[in-house]
Chain A
Amino acid sequence: MNMWCAATRRSAKARLFPPHEARQKENPMTLKIISSQCTSCSACEPECPNVAISEKNGTFVINPKKCTECIGHFDAPQCAAVCPVDNTCVIDTSYPRYQPPA
């Protein structure tokens, strides 16, 4: 098999689905849920492709270590797309944003 081709394939895959450790250390981008606005409807929980959402003290929270902003899975973060309250699932600016390789 052609080496060039294999390398390209690996890099494309790594871009879309970075290994778990890499996400944790290098790309800790994440969304958060504003708990005062959360209605605890649970709609976001099953939509998360990373199983990053769980119920805590009556509202739902996102585990920043698992969140990937749905990059590589869907066009838009699923929690924000399904949330019934606008501006409740938002980018957590205390974490650096994910920068896809150029």
Chain B
Amino acid sequence: MEQITQPQDAKPADPAALDAVLQQVAEHKGCGTSGGSGKASCGSAAGQGDLPTEIWEKVKNHPCYSEEAHHHYARMHVAVAPACNIQCNYCNRKYDCANESRPGVVSEKLTPEQAAKKVLAVASTIPQMTVLGIAGPGDPLANPEKTFKTFELIAKTAPDIKLCLSTNGLTLPDHVDTIAGFNVDHVTITINMVDPEIGAKIYPWVFWKHKRYTGVEAARLLTDRQLQGLEMLTARGILCKVNSVMIPGINDKHLVEVNKAVKSRGAFLHNIMPLISSPEHGTVFGLTGQRGPTAQELKALQDSCEGEMNMMRHCRQCRADAVGLLGEDRSAEFTTDKIMAMEVNYDLDSRKAYQAQVEEERVAKVAAKQEELASLAGEASDIKLLVAVATKGSGLINEHFGHAKEFQVYELSTAGAKFVGHRRVDLYCQGGYGEEDSLETIIRAINDCHAVFVAKIGGCPKSDLLKAGIEPVDQFAHEFIEKSAIAWFKSYLDKVRSGEIEHVVRGDAEIRQGALISAA
């Protein structure tokens, strides 16, 4: 989303900006999973799903666009764009708690030169780093000089890194030619409405051409410019993803219309995210008590839009200075001080060799899944259920229950295993939760799941999970997620059929507030 920045003491060579970049890149769901909810996501060749080949080629290694790629590739965000030209009720630029992270907040701003050095340092240390994004913490296109200078420097020194940016779209039509000129092939626009009456409840004002506009007039201006920019980008063959924040009671039902509007204008992926809203964030919505959606509400909306276009469900709503893979944020390793002191040797060949190995893993993973899926062929059942998986990446069940900061959620049916989202369980400075047992937090977060797949789990949490009706499964440790989930589902169906267990529908789950943070 757009971005907020909170510069702490920005001394000349400050390290703040590095952090944001990596994290955001890694999280989106990219392969735009396949269409109908009955289909396995990422059906054929390593996740192409329904995507046309030319689009798949562009997104397959992009962690923000491909759910499958985000297991293998990392992204980074550089916080070079602190200024913003609109105000959103879910955003507050003011606070930067060291333990907290959400879009719009970063610890440090970077100059374009610092950002370029950081990108090289990170790419040399983390060969999976394939994508650089500028997402704020303000709006990249409200800071066009800084944003494009950064792209220019990186294109010169690290030409293999994909460039992308995320904008609110207000000034997008003015910059489409420049964006195309820098070979930016992915742009994300945050579009929360196409109806100015609804927009007026989300955006108190926009600043355009030296004037602050408010109310319906502001929202009309914004939506017109967003849709115009989207059309201009897709006309030039630039891939566009649309982000929407789901705000119950304000735009939740309306997002189906937004979905149609952006699809008809050529957006290839729609990412509907839950509102992050806590009073301690100091946002308008946080202070008015506007709630975010529950896990079921979010999934229902994503499912209802999925027939229309590819939906993204793996976004972690990371901050504008994130660095790393999946849910990890390694930004602390790459502070400006550390980077400026690093000797960077950008080795294109070793990066390529590493990435070739990743490709082999991906192919093996898909083959394993296809094999297991074939064995489901004869099964017929209406049962559809969710399972949670503890993973560190690479598509494997390879995380200890107690170490997991998040769980991936798969929907299992006779059509296969489909990734439908993730649930964060890390603890951070969250009002009201700190004193509680972390196990209870986890159970609330995956309460809609029938089972949780882990590499290992202790005796105590095991029995508590069973009491809560969630089966802990550790016999597939270090095996491929989808293959294991399908195998487990088959035996579940067998047990239901034989009467050994009774299938019951699970309740709703809670979406944890706050974006992902770096490892404490």
Interface residues of A (CB under 8 A from B): 37, 39-43, 45-47, 55, 57-58, 74-76, 78, 81-82, 84-85
Contacts and interface: CB of A to CB of B under 8 A. Distances in A.
Nearest to B87: A84
A41 B138 contact: yes
Interface in B136-164: 137-138, 142-143
A46 B109 CA distance: 17
A40 B82 contact: yes
B85 A85 contact: no
B49 interface: no
15 contacts: A37-B94, A39-B93, A41-B5, A41-B93, A42-B83, A43-B84, A45-B83, A46-B83, A58-B7, A74-B211, A76-B211, A76-B212, A78-B210, A81-B211, A84-B84
A74 B210 contact: yes
B207 A81 contact: yes
A45 B83 CA distance: 9
Nearest to A41: B82
B109 A43 contact: no
Interface of B: 4-11, 82-85, 87, 93-94, 109, 137-138, 142-143, 207, 210-212
- Of the candidates A37, A42, A47, A78, the one having the most CB atoms from chain B within 10 angstroms of its own CB is A42
A58 B8 contact: yes
Nearest to B96: A39
B211 A75 contact: yes
A32 B138 CA distance: 22
Contacts of A81: 207, 210-212
Contacts of A76: 211-212
Given A43-B84, A43-B85, A78-B210, A84 B9 contact: no
A39 B210 contact: no
A55 B210 CA distance: 21
A55 B10 contact: yes
Contacts of A45: 83
A40 B83 contact: no
Contacts of A37: 94
- Of the candidates A40, A41, A47, A76, the one having the most CB atoms from chain B within 10 angstroms of its own CB is A41
Contact of A58 (B9, B143, B211): B9
